[in-house]
A and B are shown apart, each in its own frame.
Chain A
Amino acid sequence: MYKSSNPYRPVETEVIDVITETPAIKTFRLQPSEPFHFDAGQFIEFTVPGIGEAPFTPSSNPAEKDRIEITVMKVGRVTGFIHQLKKGDRVGLRGPFGTKYPIDTFKGKQVLIVGGGCGFAPLRSLIYEFFNRLSEFEKVVFRGGCKTPSDFLYRKEIESWKNKGDIDVRLTVDNGDDNWKENVGVVTTILDNSMNIDCPSAIAVVCGPPIMMKFSTKRLLELGFRESNLYLSMEKNMSCGIGKCGHCRVGTFYACKDGPVFSYDKLKNFHTIWE
């Protein structure tokens, strides 16, 4: 919930580290000057002073109380300026906004997490949250896909999840290279029996580019997942974060306050959810 009496005011924040993930993607480690807590699934608005704001779902562990990380792909004007930021720079944060993944309701269940491309960033924060309390779930399965091996975010970290053995991880790329030992094909090609999941009772969380979410949803429904157990993150043009500016409407909802996490049954009757 919002602390500030002025919802448009950013909280002053220091950039404490910058990590280059891929040529187009950087992770920024941030330290807000005021208490700032988010839950996995919620998003923040990131201000570059004098330049503008852009929405991001944090990629860090929600249990970390005074730090927050966002992973930013350079795609436009504001993200271009964000990529120029250095350690010690002052920026702004607003939020957090929107709904979190209802993890408490996943207790005792099998959970499948499907990530595509840039969707890895918000999912990392969710996976940290699972690691914080892994014993509460029957099983956690991760399936991730990217265009090429070099597009993978947090590659080393994902390998370490594999080694921990607590999460069943499989990856795929659309186009492999000589070093790629895993599956080649779109992400739906690894949504198969290897998951060893009881689909009608399991939870699925899908995050990635719209086209990937569309086909993953279709595939998971075919496998027997329930619509109400299938959670999607809606990437819309969020700005105000509080249901006023009108930019993020999806059907009868605003993605910023009613989402960005929705179960598929809430969205399925709306037009243009995949665009």
Chain B
Amino acid sequence: MKAYFISYENLSNLFSVISNAYQLFVPVKINEKRYITPYQPGTGYTIGEVRTVEPLKAFFFPGRTIVALNYEDSLPDVKKKPYCIAGVKACDLYGCDILDRVFRSEDYTDPFYKQAREETLIISSDCTMAIDTCYCTVFGRNPYPESGYDLNLSPLAKGYLCETGSEKGKNIIEKNSSFFEESDDALLIERSKQREKVKASVEELVNRNTIPDSSEFNGIIERNYNAGIWQDEAKKCVECGACNTICPTCHCFLLYDQKKEETTARFRTWDSCLLKNFARVAGGSNPRASRWMRLRNRFEKKFDYFPAVFNEYACTGCGRCISACPAKIDIRTVLKRLVEHV
């Protein structure tokens, strides 16, 4: 993968060009938080720093979307231009990797997800800082992208080091070569120093918050299946479902139909396994009737099902569920309790 240099100014120029063919989204900082926002020429954006409030999944698996109209076989798609998302962080790329295993599995592919995934241009970026809830390094991963992007930007003192990760990314650089310069060793050294520094700050947070390493997660759900931890942790849960909807790896959805005059539309919306009737069957029996069973199920899915089936934990360490939970249920604390309880 070849690396180039692009100045701050030329990145804005590149964004203007990209906007012709794509609907471009960039992270914009408001009150110390970053939000994925439609790009407006001339207004600011924050490529580096840390993850956005929203997960990337919304672009490939929207919160609410029409998946069928009447009995028509065609796939409804109202989007005019494909998406380009800039400033995507490593944890969100990993979240997509997890969702790919679900929606692009070999047996059944979800056509909507697949199309959005294939046509979207992803310009990721290194994290240049960490926030208290970050713990990606627990899973042996790094706060900078290593795969899954078309282009990656590493913010440096004078501009960005830009690396290609796909043919699509390479084409963008070739077509816009006037914005790019050759990079040199000094830039690469600057980048690896910065990457080390950011990684060290995530590790420091992990240490300070005493979060166990993922090497200790093997079997924690099974071992604690009937432990009191679940009841205890679920006590304050208000069943809002925020931990699910905000999570970049949660993929569960609900199908429902609506009729307007002669048209029947089938919608797909994000669903939440913390909600009471998630697993309830038509006859009324509910295998997860109590809230603590549903909290356990969320952990079982991420830390038992996914490693058993895909050999990966379905958690990116992004910390979004920690910030989102009104009951202050902290996944790091739960994991710690599960590891420590024997």
Contacts and interface: CB of A to CB of B under 8 A. Distances in A.
Contacts of A51: 257, 259
B252 A245 contact: yes
A12 B255 contact: no
Interface of B: 67-68, 70-75, 102-103, 105, 107-108, 110-111, 225, 251-259, 264, 266, 268, 271, 273, 278-288, 301, 305, 308-309
A275 B103 CA distance: 28
Nearest to A92: B71
Contact of A245 (B225, B255, B282): B255
5 contacts: A6-B73, A49-B264, A51-B257, A246-B271, A257-B107
B259 to A, nearest CB: 3
A165 B285 CA distance: 37
B284 A52 contact: no
Contact of B108 (A10, A252, A257): A257
A249 interface: yes
Determine which residue in B68, B75, B103, B271 has the highest number of CB atoms from chain A within 10 A of its CB, and name it: B68
B279 A247 contact: yes
Contacts of A249: 301, 305
A6 B75 contact: yes
A23 interface: no
A252 B308 contact: yes
Contact of A252 (B266, B280, B285, B305): B305
Contacts of A92: 71
A237 interface: yes
A222 to B, nearest CB: 25
A47 interface: yes
Interface string A241-254: 01111110101100
A243 B281 CA distance: 17
Given A244-B103, A252-B308, A6 B255 contact: no
Contacts of B257: 47-53
Interface in A231-275: 235-237, 239-240, 242-247, 249, 251-252, 257, 271-272, 275
A243 B105 contact: yes
Interface in A52-102: 52-54, 73, 75-76, 78-79, 92
Given A245-B271, A252-B309, A5 B111 contact: yes
A257 B258 CA distance: 26
A12 B268 CA distance: 20
Interface residues of A, number: 46
A51 B281 CA distance: 17
A274 to B, nearest CB: 9
A90 to B, nearest CB: 9
Interface of A: 2, 4-12, 33, 47-54, 73, 75-76, 78-79, 92, 118, 209-210, 235-237, 239-240, 242-247, 249, 251-252, 257, 271-272, 275
Contacts of A11: 71
A5 B72 CA distance: 11
A244 B225 contact: no
Contacts of A242: 107-108, 110
Given A6-B73, A7-B110, A8-B255, 5 more contacts: A10-B266, A118-B283, A244-B110, A246-B273, A252-B309
A75 B285 contact: no
Contacts of B301: 246, 249
Q: Which of A5, A33, A51, A275 has the most CB of B within 10 A?
A: A275
A10 B103 CA distance: 19
A75 B251 contact: no
Contacts of B266: 8-10
B282 A54 contact: yes
B105 A275 contact: no
A79 B284 CA distance: 13
B271 A9 contact: no
A5 B73 contact: yes
A50 B257 CA distance: 5
A82 to B, nearest CB: 11
Contacts of A47: 257
A240 B255 contact: yes
A245 B253 contact: yes
Contact of B253 (A5, A235, A246): A246
Contacts of B105: 243
Contact of B68 (A9, A78, A210, A271): A9
Contacts of A79: 282
Contact of B287 (A6, A8, A209, A272): A272
A236 B281 contact: yes
Given A52-B257, A271-B225, A75 B284 contact: yes
B71 A237 contact: no
Nearest to B279: A237
A181 B251 CA distance: 53
B75 A247 contact: no
Closest 10 CB pairs of A and B: A50-B259, A246-B252, A242-B108, A275-B287, A8-B67, A12-B71, A9-B68, A49-B264, A252-B308, A8-B68
B151 to A, nearest CB: 29
Contact of B252 (A73, A247, A275): A247
Contacts of A252: 305, 308-309
